[in-house]
């Protein structure tokens, strides 16, 4: 079922923030068309400046048959603060795309725009699923085994025990839904694997997870060097730590890429060696291509919201659309809601029981500020 309650059997309608991202709207429209090759039953609502979108749609013949344009006069800039976006962005392509999901006219939204603004708007309009106090940003990490899911990647800089427990449930459902892991393993990121390591919050969260029935298997603490090994399917952490881990991984990949380029350019023999090894390096490049893992998800909202990297191209954006499609096809949100509903009352709504709507609204400015931490550097 969608947020509006309609059945989801004959394809999916995806609202596209066509003006969000560094390469919008060209790469966004091209990526939407590219996704049709894998998901031919998708229908799109392209939200943005009609004067710019219509000529692009005319160029992409395959897209014309399954896309409509929803005019939006404004766009959210990459440097706009979440609070400003909430106040002045009601006519923006991002906000109007989210509104389409809220109204039941679209089944999900995909945007490559400002992450903080997207999180703030999505939480304000769509609200969180019952029992969840804060949505989390989840995405993929390439590992030696295949891929792992990691959350939170920047939405919540500080987390309580209930937050981390909720993240574990949502992450396990996500790993099952998108990666097909039948009984995903879950690890809590810490400074050591021993039970006495870490602060009070993370130790209490681990103790709680060990006593619970989860949609996966909790394996205790993991360390930073366990992330690339793929020792667990789901890595749970607060947004501060998760975002640093993400950016460190991206920087390390760029460092080694630079090392390789400089090494093979150092001499004639090195260049010849590269030519011999080129097929293997192309395979490695494909395996670690960040476009392959594009598509961070705001888990815990009453609607599917996928964040594409702001600087991606058509290939990367098509993969973000694919993530949204998989979440819809596998009914991710109802599964998350079912998993959260089994938690004890003290682990719902974040801090000791079900919080009132007034207290949730009071917490909104802090959440918006935390959401400004950027998943994808966009």
Greater pLDDT, 90 or 180: 90
CA–CA dist 285, 274 (Å, integer): 14
In a domain, 192, yes or no: yes
Q: Is 336 left (phi over 0), alpha (psi -120 to 50) or beta?
A: alpha
4 in a domain, yes or no?
A: no
- Read off the pLDDT of each residue in 334-343 and give the average, rounded to a whole number: 90
Q: Are 314 and 338 in contact (CB under 8 A)?
A: no
pTM exceeding 0.85: no
At 250, the pLDDT band (50, 70, 90 cuts) reads confident
Q: If you average pLDDT over every residue of the chain, what do you get? A: 86
| 61 pLDDT higher than 80 | yes
SS3 121: helix
- Bridge partners (DSSP) of residue 291 are none
Q: Is 258 a domain residue?
A: yes
Q: Decide: 372 and 76 in contact? Cβ < 8 Å.
A: no
Q: What pLDDT is stored for residue 10 in this prediction? A: 58
Q: Is 376 domain-assigned?
A: no
On whether residue 207 sits in a domain, the answer given is: yes
pLDDT band of 366, cuts 50, 70, 90: very low
Task: Give the CA distances from residue 322 to residues 20, 110, 143, 198, in Å, rounded to whole numbers and listed in that order.
Answer: 18, 10, 20, 37
- Answer yes or no: is 5 within a domain: no
pLDDT, mean of residues 215-239: 93
In a domain, 36, yes or no: yes
Look at residue 264 and tell me if it is in a domain.
yes
Range of the domain at 360: 12-371
Domain count for the chain: 1
Q: What is the CATH number of the domain that holds 277?
A: 3.40.718.10
């Amino acid at each position: 079922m969608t947020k509006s309650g309609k059945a989801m059997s004959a394809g999916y309608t995806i609202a596209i923030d066509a003006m969000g991202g560094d390469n919008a709207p060209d790469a966004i429209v091209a990526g939407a068309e590219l996704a049709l090759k894998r998901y031919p039953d998708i229908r799109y609502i392209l939200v943005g400046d009609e004067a710019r979108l219509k000529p692009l749609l005319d160029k992409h013949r395959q897209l014309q048959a399954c896309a409509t344009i929803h005019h939006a006069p404004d766009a959210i800039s990459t440097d706009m603060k979440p609070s400003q976006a909430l106040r002045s962005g009601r006519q923006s392509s991002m906000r109007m795309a989210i509104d389409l999901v809220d109204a039941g006219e679209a089944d999900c939204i995909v945007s490559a725009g400002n992450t903080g603004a997207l999180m703030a708007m999505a939480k304000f309009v769509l609200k969180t699923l019952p029992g969840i106090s804060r949505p989390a940003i989840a995405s993929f990490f390439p590992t030696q085994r295949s891929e792992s899911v990691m959350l939170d990647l920047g939405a919540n800089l500080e987390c309580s025990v209930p937050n981390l427990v909720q993240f574990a449930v949502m992450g396990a459902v996500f790993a099952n839904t998108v990666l097909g892991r039948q009984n995903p393993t879950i690890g809590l990121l810490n400074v050591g694997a021993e039970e006495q390591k870490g602060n009070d919050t993370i130790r209490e969260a681990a103790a709680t997870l060990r006593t619970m029935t989860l949609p996966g298997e909790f394996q205790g603490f993991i360390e930073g060097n366990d992330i690339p090994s793929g020792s667990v399917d789901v890595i749970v952490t607060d947004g501060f730590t998760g975002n640093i881990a993400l950016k460190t991984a991206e920087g390390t990949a760029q460092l080694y890429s630079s090392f390789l380029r400089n090494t093979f350019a150092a001499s004639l023999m090195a260049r010849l060696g590269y030519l011999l090894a080129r097929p293997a390096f192309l395979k490695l490049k494909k395996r670690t291509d960040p476009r392959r893992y594009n598509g961070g998800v705001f888990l815990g909202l009453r609607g599917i919201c996928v964040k594409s990297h702001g600087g991606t191209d058509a290939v990367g954006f098509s993969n973000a659309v694919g993530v949204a499609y998989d979440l819809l096809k596998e009914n991710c949100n109802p599964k998350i809601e079912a998993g959260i509903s089994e938690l004890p009352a003290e682990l719902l709504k974040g801090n000791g029981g079900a919080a009132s709507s007034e207290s949730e609204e009071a917490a909104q400015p802090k959440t918006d500020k935390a959401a400004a931490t950027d998943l994808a550097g966009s």
